[in-house]
A and B are shown apart, each in its own frame.
Chain A
Amino acid sequence: MASLKLEHIYKVYPNGHKAVSDFNMNIKDGEFIVFVGPSGCGKSTTLRMIAGLEDISSGELYIGDTLVNDMQPKDRDIAMVFQNYALYPHMTVYENMAFGLTLRKVPRAEIHEKVMWAADVLGLKDYLDRKPKAMSGGQRQRVSLGRAILRNPKVMLLDEPLSNLDAKLRGQMRSMISKLHQQLKTTFIYVTHDQVEAMTLGTRVVVMKLGRVQQIDSPQNLYDHPVNKFVAGFIGTPQMNFFNVTLLEGKDDVEVRWSDCEQPSLRISKQSVLKAEKKYLRGDVPVCLGFRCEAVSAEEEELAKKDNIVDVTISHFEELGNETLIYGDLKEIEGLGGESTTSIIIKASSKMGHKEGDVIKARIDVERIHLFDAKSEMTIIPSIPEHNVLPVSIQNEKMDLFGTFNKPVSIPVDFLKDGTISIPLDAITVGKGNVEAKVLLVEDHEDKHLALVKANDKELFVFVDEKVKKGDKIVFSVNYSRATFKDEKEMVVASPLADRDNLFATFVNLKTAYEDTKDENLMAIRNERVNKVNEEYQKIEADFNAEKETAINEASKKEQEIAPEVETKRQELEKKNKELTEKLAQARNEYRTGVKEAKVKHAQIMKDEMAKINAQYKEMWEKEKLDYKESMMKNKDRETRSQRRLSYSIFKESFPQMKQNDVERKTNSLDFEKETELNGLRAKFTQTKTLLTDQIKENKKAFEEECFPLKIVNKEFAKREKELQEKKANDLLHAELIFFFKFNDQFFLIPDDITGRIIQGLGNKVFTKTFRIEVPHYGFKESDKGLPFKVVSFINYGDTKMYKCTGEIFGEKVVVYIDKEREMELGSSVNLEPIIPETQIYENELNIRLY
């Protein structure tokens, strides 16, 4: 049982194809996570990366608190269930389930107990001696599940486990998996392309498309609040109805106008589009309207409400027994109809006496509609909006936003009338600053709290802490450096400053850096690191030697004490082991006679059965022959005679095949019985055998431990010493591995953990790539060895103040903004060094985030 953390996971194939891009997720202990999406969306690849069957191109995967990127699958403590079961065909069910534990050298008795437990849970007790090919698909998948659960893994991975089963079995297995999860309380990760499985099984569902995560949410939230048109269309059957519309804000409500058909507009409340950007409500931006088939009704009582009613021409029905789906169109249907931008599906309890071609009225429940941007396909009513878009005017160095106040000096706009400002939510800091506001509404979203506040006459969303209640008064400040200004024609007049400045660098090792600079300081870094490791190990080695000496002394003392008794002990051991060997021989004999007897028995049974079949067919043959002769004698009619002759010749021809089929059927079933019995015998014998041999080995070991402790101790310490030396060599090697980012001819040391991640991501291609290092404004420090920059201007955004500096890296002009307490003189030079742990590092070509 463990949690999982996936951070910026990428899978990039050698040809540059990105199968998975920037996968981020925290999975809590005991969750049931389902990855769902159309084929080729990267869900299986992600699962296989978690399993360790695929390399992770970049990013970090934690199981529990351990980074497992470079761990072998067997060390990750996971179990996996495959779509094609992947049972070992030459082993019985018992051996299949026990295989993993046997490889891990778990004691026999424990294995037996666990296999029995798993077989009990999954109802496989009667099949333990069978081989997989003698079982049905459902049973095989149960064995595969059993093999996975009996190891009690931290994480269970299931890769489309039900896709090879028929519909009925799939239902049964689904509930079985669900029960297993409740019983085991292990973290499950389940991959499927079937959204029914996703919705019924998952505590959270990850919807993926083309290698990107679309939405991670509970099944209900996915259904009720899809973040984009893809999720809305993918989740739920039948598919959601989509239409092209425009929205126009009126005085009391918002009008939804149909773009592709002549139907009365829908009316939705202003409250429901509160979080939507105002540009969508002006009537000229195309929007996609979506609603599910149960949100539209043709029933009388709904129609009685009179509002939001449309005319639907029925194209055909789908009767599902308890309910009926009415397929129709908002326009007149031409020809056979079919899918169009005005098709609609309505769920109804019955046909209600309508027939194809009828025009009926249907009411759309506007509480349950979804609105998406027609271009980006993202929802326009997100649960947490990213920006506040507010009207703004600027004139005479004054800004009219929350009341009129002095415009922050550095906003590069002198005049703006009826413009808009778009402020990201995280650019607003609540609790400091001088804009006063009243809280109108607070919503909780997991760890965030979203509040709608009113400052002067403007309403906007801000993040607040949990103490803030509706009706409270708060203050906030705005970081205008991150705001976008647009004029009345939607043209951007001032774009935000980026959060981070981009620097480009290459990756070099110590040798290259030293040869380039001949800087002894670089070598000094290396020497210091090596010395540190050496010192560390000096102490460890001294401790180790002391421990070894004491242990050896103790052991030799013990050995001397026991020396006189060794002979008796040896005899005892030999006696004990002889008994066990005899027992083993006896068991072997029993097994052999058992097998022989079984073989004889089955041979006899086979012979009897064959004789039976032979007799039966002989009788049949005789009877037919007799019958034929008789009827030939009796009948003189030509037609009948020829009929009879024909049927006789057909019989003669098909007779051998009939017999052959019967014989084969019988042989197969008898063979199967025989094999099962033999497997049982063999399994029993193997179990006794391993038990006995283990015991013999243990006795011998115990004897040696008791009588010759010195030998044991020596062996143990030799092993430990070797390990210690290996570890030291490894640490020394690491101490010498030092890498730098090279900007111009300056080298900046990269911390070890970041080096590790970069090399992990790119392998030996690391030296040929260019890296984009994104440095936040606070991520520079002044240092003698830093890159030379020139301070060109002072940026004042009111509450946010920065200096703009320019410099050159690899012949390209670079502009950075630095956030410094110190006052700097304009035109002065400053040497800046990026603080590498504060930065984000990307591989520039494929745009893969490495750190």
Chain B
Amino acid sequence: MAEKHYASKRLAEKSNRILVYAILILVSVIWVLPFVYLIFQSFINIPSSKSFFPEAGNWTGQNYANLFNKDTPFFSWWINTFIIAFFTAALQTVLVLMTSYALSRLRFSGRQALMKLILILGMFPGFLGMLVIYYILKLLGLNTSVFSLILVYVASSAMSYYIAKGFFDTIPKSLDEAVLIDGGSKNTVFWQIILPLSKPIIIYTILVSFTGPWGDFMFGSYIRVAGGLQASQYTVAVGLQLLANEGHGLHDYGTFCAGAVLVSIPITALFFWLQRYYVEGIAGGAVKG
């Protein structure tokens, strides 16, 4: 009897597990498929073939070579975007962490109201303010440079304080107090105690604030048109869109695919390297977030 019971329980468990794995595999295939398609396409000489898988003998590296010839300033796009993303990430991380710390630890009048206001503001999509942002840039005389995007991205950085604040809330306040009694100031607390303890959340913030500008299309495209930028001043997202889009001088589908693969490499590498912290960061914030 016992054996039967055990066997049936095992069977149930097993079938359960099979079902779960089946769903997971299905989902991952759906997710990975576009990327695989992209990789294959980047190796096809497009005008000759539009099949999913390159026919034998039809493999080519030409698309990648095209990226770096004179007509396609892919390298400048990449560098532009990297500079923008790098500085945005650096500034935004500092701002987010400081805002979060202030909102987590300091008690000032209007704190609750401010947090709620930021939360509500965050619910509106960023592009609603696009016109205004453009006029402000124009007033400042920055509308003709692609690097003004750094300002645009960094300006709203304090709004994403939520996860980091949640993480800071989990660090006991008595640590702060111990530092104050030991002879430190609020600065000492932040730089010498809180930051060393917040590695996951710092890395999470860096990742998020790097990937945002790296993949952003909307502001880049807007500033391209309105500011009348030259081809070498585009960001990757804008440039690649032009490659993919018919009706422009740059149109070349195969080169677009190759570019897309190259753009995804640094981000993918970064995520693989830091994924442990990324998960910890989100989870850590989620406890009290």
Q: Report if A362 contacts B (CB, 8 A).
A: no
Query: Closest approach, in angstroms, between the C-beta of B104 and any C-beta of chain A?
Result: 17
Contact (Cβ within 8 A) B182 A82: no
Question: Which A residues are CB-close (under 8 A) to B197?
Answer: 89-90
Contact (Cβ within 8 A) B174 A73: no
Partner of B181, one of A73, A89, A645, A649: A73
Contact (Cβ within 8 A) A72 B3: no
Partner of B177, one of A80, A100, A147, A643: A80
Contact (Cβ within 8 A) B180 A74: yes
Whether A74 touches B177, Cβ cut-off 8 Å, given contacts A84-B172, A646-B6, is no
Question: Which A residues are CB-close (under 8 A) to B193?
Answer: 88, 90
Contact (Cβ within 8 A) B183 A82: no
- Separation of A88 and B189 alpha carbons in the complex (Å): 11
Q: Report if B196 contacts A (CB, 8 A).
A: yes
Contact (Cβ within 8 A) A82 B188: no
Contact (Cβ within 8 A) A82 B177: yes
Interface residues of A in 18-64 (CB under 8 A from B): 51-53
Whether A74 touches B174, Cβ cut-off 8 Å, given contacts A90-B196, A90-B197, A646-B6, is no
Partner of A79, one of B2, B181, B188: B181
1/0 contact string of A579-618 vs chain B (CB within 8 Å): 0000000000000000000000000000000000000000
Q: Report if A86 contacts B (CB, 8 A).
A: yes
Tell me the nearest residue of chain B to A78, going by C-beta. B181
Contact (Cβ within 8 A) A86 B183: no
Tell me the nearest residue of chain A to B177, going by C-beta. A53
Contact (Cβ within 8 A) A53 B180: yes
Contact (Cβ within 8 A) A74 B196: no
Tell me the nearest residue of chain A to B109, going by C-beta. A14
- Separation of A72 and B174 alpha carbons in the complex (Å): 16
Whether A103 touches B182, Cβ cut-off 8 Å, given contacts A82-B174, A84-B172, A86-B174, is yes
Q: Report if B175 contacts A (CB, 8 A).
A: yes
- Separation of A642 and B4 alpha carbons in the complex (Å): 10
Question: Which A residues are CB-close (under 8 A) to B2?
Answer: 646
- Separation of A642 and B184 alpha carbons in the complex (Å): 70
Contact (Cβ within 8 A) B178 A642: no
Q: Report if A230 contacts B (CB, 8 A).
A: no
Contact (Cβ within 8 A) B196 A147: no
- Separation of A74 and B181 alpha carbons in the complex (Å): 5
Interface residues of A in 149-165 (CB under 8 A from B): 151
Contact (Cβ within 8 A) A84 B196: no
- Separation of A100 and B193 alpha carbons in the complex (Å): 13
Question: Which B residues are CB-close (under 8 A) to A51?
Answer: 177, 181
- Separation of A84 and B172 alpha carbons in the complex (Å): 9
- Separation of A53 and B184 alpha carbons in the complex (Å): 13
Question: Which B residues are CB-close (under 8 A) to A151?
Answer: 182
- Separation of A699 and B4 alpha carbons in the complex (Å): 85
Contact (Cβ within 8 A) B178 A646: no
Q: Report if A719 contacts B (CB, 8 A).
A: no
Partner of A86, one of B6, B178, B184, B196: B178
Question: Which A residues are CB-close (under 8 A) to B6?
Answer: 646, 650
Question: Which A residues are CB-close (under 8 A) to B196?
Answer: 90
- Separation of A83 and B172 alpha carbons in the complex (Å): 11
Whether A104 touches B183, Cβ cut-off 8 Å, given contacts A86-B172, A646-B3, is yes
Q: Report if A537 contacts B (CB, 8 A).
A: no
Question: Which A residues are CB-close (under 8 A) to B172?
Answer: 84, 86
- Separation of A104 and B175 alpha carbons in the complex (Å): 18
Interface residues of B in 104-152 (CB under 8 A from A): none
Contact (Cβ within 8 A) A80 B178: yes
Query: Closest approach, in angstroms, between the C-beta of A118 and any C-beta of chain B?
Result: 14
Question: Which A residues are CB-close (under 8 A) to B179?
Answer: 99
Question: Which B residues are CB-close (under 8 A) to A646?
Answer: 2-3, 6
Query: Closest approach, in angstroms, between the C-beta of A191 and any C-beta of chain B?
Result: 13
Partner of A82, one of B3, B178, B184: B178
Query: Closest approach, in angstroms, between the C-beta of B288 and any C-beta of chain A?
Result: 16
Question: Which A residues are CB-close (under 8 A) to B178?
Answer: 80, 82, 86-88, 147
- Separation of A593 and B183 alpha carbons in the complex (Å): 36
Question: Which A residues are CB-close (under 8 A) to B174?
Answer: 82-84, 86
Question: Which A residues are CB-close (under 8 A) to B181?
Answer: 51-53, 73-74, 78-80, 100
Partner of B183, one of A84, A90, A100: A100
- Separation of A82 and B174 alpha carbons in the complex (Å): 7
Question: Which B residues are CB-close (under 8 A) to A73?
Answer: 177, 180-181
Question: Which A residues are CB-close (under 8 A) to B177?
Answer: 51, 53, 73, 80, 82, 86
Contact (Cβ within 8 A) A103 B175: no
- Separation of A151 and B178 alpha carbons in the complex (Å): 13
Query: Closest approach, in angstroms, between the C-beta of A307 and any C-beta of chain B?
Result: 57
Contact (Cβ within 8 A) A642 B3: yes
Contact (Cβ within 8 A) A103 B180: no
Tell me the nearest residue of chain B to A157, going by C-beta. B181
- Separation of A74 and B182 alpha carbons in the complex (Å): 6
1/0 contact string of B5-17 vs chain A (CB within 8 Å): 0100010000000
- Separation of A67 and B185 alpha carbons in the complex (Å): 21
- Separation of A84 and B193 alpha carbons in the complex (Å): 16
- Separation of A84 and B181 alpha carbons in the complex (Å): 15
Query: Closest approach, in angstroms, between the C-beta of A84 and any C-beta of chain B?
Result: 6
Partner of A99, one of B10, B180, B182: B182
Partner of B182, one of A53, A100, A650: A100
Tell me the nearest residue of chain B to A85, going by C-beta. B174
Query: Closest approach, in angstroms, between the C-beta of B249 and any C-beta of chain A?
Result: 56
Interface residues of A in 92-109 (CB under 8 A from B): 99-100, 103-104
- Separation of A209 and B178 alpha carbons in the complex (Å): 27
1/0 contact string of A650-690 vs chain B (CB within 8 Å): 10010000000000000000000000000000000000000
Contact (Cβ within 8 A) B180 A86: no
Contact (Cβ within 8 A) A88 B183: no
Query: Closest approach, in angstroms, between the C-beta of B188 and any C-beta of chain A?
Result: 7
- Separation of A100 and B177 alpha carbons in the complex (Å): 12
- Separation of A735 and B183 alpha carbons in the complex (Å): 32
- Separation of A814 and B184 alpha carbons in the complex (Å): 53
Query: Closest approach, in angstroms, between the C-beta of B170 and any C-beta of chain A?
Result: 12
Interface residues of B in 199-227 (CB under 8 A from A): none
Query: Closest approach, in angstroms, between the C-beta of A603 and any C-beta of chain B?
Result: 20
Contact (Cβ within 8 A) A103 B184: yes
Query: Closest approach, in angstroms, between the C-beta of B194 and any C-beta of chain A?
Result: 10
- Separation of A99 and B189 alpha carbons in the complex (Å): 12
Query: Closest approach, in angstroms, between the C-beta of B112 and any C-beta of chain A?
Result: 13
Question: Which B residues are CB-close (under 8 A) to A87?
Answer: 178
Query: Closest approach, in angstroms, between the C-beta of B130 and any C-beta of chain A?
Result: 42
Interface residues of B in 61-84 (CB under 8 A from A): none
Question: Which A residues are CB-close (under 8 A) to B182?
Answer: 74, 99-100, 103, 147, 151
Tell me the nearest residue of chain A to B184, going by C-beta. A103
Tell me the nearest residue of chain B to A88, going by C-beta. B193
- Separation of A103 and B183 alpha carbons in the complex (Å): 6
1/0 contact string of A132-148 vs chain B (CB within 8 Å): 00000000000000010
Query: Closest approach, in angstroms, between the C-beta of A560 and any C-beta of chain B?
Result: 42
Query: Closest approach, in angstroms, between the C-beta of B276 and any C-beta of chain A?
Result: 15
Scoring B10, B172, B174 by chain A CB atoms within 10 A of each residue's CB, the highest score goes to B174
Question: Which B residues are CB-close (under 8 A) to A82?
Answer: 174, 177-178
Contact (Cβ within 8 A) A74 B184: yes
Query: Closest approach, in angstroms, between the C-beta of A165 and any C-beta of chain B?
Result: 16
Query: Closest approach, in angstroms, between the C-beta of A143 and any C-beta of chain B?
Result: 12
- List chain B positions with a Cβ less than 8 A from chain A: 2-3, 6, 10, 172, 174-175, 177-185, 188, 193, 196-197
Which 4 A-B pairs give the minimum distances between C-beta atoms?
Answer: A100-B182, A86-B174, A86-B178, A74-B183
Given contacts A80-B177, A90-B193, 11 further A-B contacts (CB under 8 A): A72-B180, A74-B182, A86-B178, A89-B197, A90-B197, A99-B179, A103-B188, A104-B183, A646-B2, A650-B6, A653-B10
5 A–B pairs (Cβ distance < 8 Å), ordered by A: A80-B178, A84-B174, A88-B178, A103-B183, A653-B10
